[in-house]
């Protein structure tokens, strides 16, 4: 059931779901779950359930979208009708188109697109169940799917949000905190170089709060990064020659 606004977000240093302020929700990633796609990943992050599939590089259709210099990365973020409390009308809408775009930009910076001119790399992100932070979950799953598809990239892209609830900066907001909190700050980074490939903010933060939240989110990203690597190692770990 959908919960109304809580009176307090943090009681005795514990959040409503029992986490500390700098603790992630339990995260589980599995690579290579789909047979038909070139690469795929399934992710469970608290109440989020996300499936990402990657195809390509493949011939681009419609042809006029082809770029003779590099591959075109196309991302499709979509929420299942049953992913939220109130049925979501299926199909693209303003929100999912925005998320598709920021996801594409977050991933474009790491994929070596110039190696495959005139082709498309398609990434499909399906949100099966949502509990806030789905864009971060989507980017995290998508970059595992890209690596699973054998696509050359600079690094994996982990994403994680931080935010402010009840006057306190917290890591990885879940739905109640996201709905009634003061701010949400999703961040995606390229861990090796520390570059930021996604940075959005919803709500208000002072400059000091922003910096604190940003640092916390980056710390969260590094934890997510470890899980991504673990998932890929698990999938291919038995491989040796």
Partner 1 sequence: MERRLVIPGEEVAEGKVKLGDGVYRDGDKIYASILGLLDTARGVVRVIPLTGRYFPKVGDFVIGTIKGTVYETAWEVDINCPYSAILNASDYYREVDPFRTPLRRIMSPGTTIYAYVREVTLNRRIYITMRQRGSRVIKGGRLVEISPAKVPRVIGRKRSMISMIVKETGCKMLVGQNGLVWIRAKPEIADLVERAVKKIEAEAHTSGLTDRIKEMIVKEREKYEGR
Q: Which of 67, 105, 109, 119 binds partner 1 (CB under 8 A)?
A: 119
CB of 146 to partner 1, least distance (A): 8
Decide if residue 125 touches partner 1 (CB under 8 A).
no
Which helix (H) or strand (E) is 109 found in, with range? Answer: none
CB of 59 to partner 1, least distance (A): 6
Residues 6+ apart with CB under 8 A from 70: 113, 114, 116, 117
Residues 6+ apart with CB under 8 A from 169: 21, 162, 163, 209, 212, 213, 216
Among 39, 43, 45, CA closest to 58: 39
For residue 126, what are the β-bridge partners? 51, 78
CB of 36 to partner 1, least distance (A): 12
Q: Which of 81, 150, 203, 211 binds partner 1 (CB under 8 A)?
A: 150
CB nearer partner 1, residue 16 or residue 196: 196
* Subset of residues 68 to 107 that bind partner 1, contact rule: CB under 8 A: 68
CB nearer partner 1, residue 14 or residue 234: 234
Measured over all CA atoms, what is the biggest interatomic distance in the chain, rounded to whole angstroms? 59
Cα 209 from Cα 173, distance rounded (Å):
16
E strands in the chain:
10-11, 14-15, 27-31, 39-45, 48-59, 72-79, 119-129, 159-165, 168-171, 183-190, 195-199, 202-203
CB of 42 to partner 1, least distance (A): 16
Classify the phi-psi angles of 39: left when phi > 0, otherwise alpha if psi is within -120 to 50, otherwise beta.
beta
Contact range with partner 1 by CB under 8 A, out of 53-61, 131-139, 164-172, 211-219: 53-61
Decide if residue 147 touches partner 1 (CB under 8 A).
yes
CB of 118 to partner 1, least distance (A): 6
Decide if residue 158 touches partner 1 (CB under 8 A).
no
Decide if residue 118 touches partner 1 (CB under 8 A).
yes
Residues engaged in binding partner 1 (CB under 8 A): 32, 38-39, 56-59, 68, 110, 112, 116-119, 147-156, 190-193, 229, 232-233, 236-241
């Amino acid at each position: 059931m959908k919960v109304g606004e809580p009176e307090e977000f943090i009681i005795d240093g514990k959040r409503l779901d029992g986490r500390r302020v700098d603790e992630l929700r339990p995260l589980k990633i599995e690579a290579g779950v789909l047979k038909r796609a070139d690469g795929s990943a399934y992710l469970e992050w608290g109440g989020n359930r996300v499936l990402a599939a990657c195809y390509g590089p493949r011939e681009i259709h419609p042809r006029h979208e082809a770029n003779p210099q590099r591959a075109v990365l196309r991302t499709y973020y979509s929420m299942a009708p049953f992913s939220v409390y109130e049925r979501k009308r299926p199909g693209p809408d303003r929100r999912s188109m925005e998320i598709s775009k920021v996801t594409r930009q977050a991933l474009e910076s790491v994929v070596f697109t110039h190696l495959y001119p005139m082709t498309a790399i398609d990434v499909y992100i399906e949100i099966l169940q949502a509990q806030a932070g789905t864009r971060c979950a989507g980017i995290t799953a998508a970059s595992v799917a890209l690596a699973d598809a054998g696509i050359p990239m600079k690094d994996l892209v982990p994403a994680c949000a931080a935010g402010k609830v009840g006057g306190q900066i917290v890591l990885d907001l879940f739905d109640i905190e996201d709905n009634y909190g003061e701010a949400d700050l999703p961040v995606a980074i390229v861990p090796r170089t520390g570059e930021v490939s996604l940075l959005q903010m919803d709500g208000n933060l002072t400059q000091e709060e922003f910096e604190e939240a940003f640092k916390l989110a980056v710390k969260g990203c590094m934890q997510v990064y470890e899980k991504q690597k673990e998932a890929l190692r698990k999938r291919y770990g038995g491989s040796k020659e």
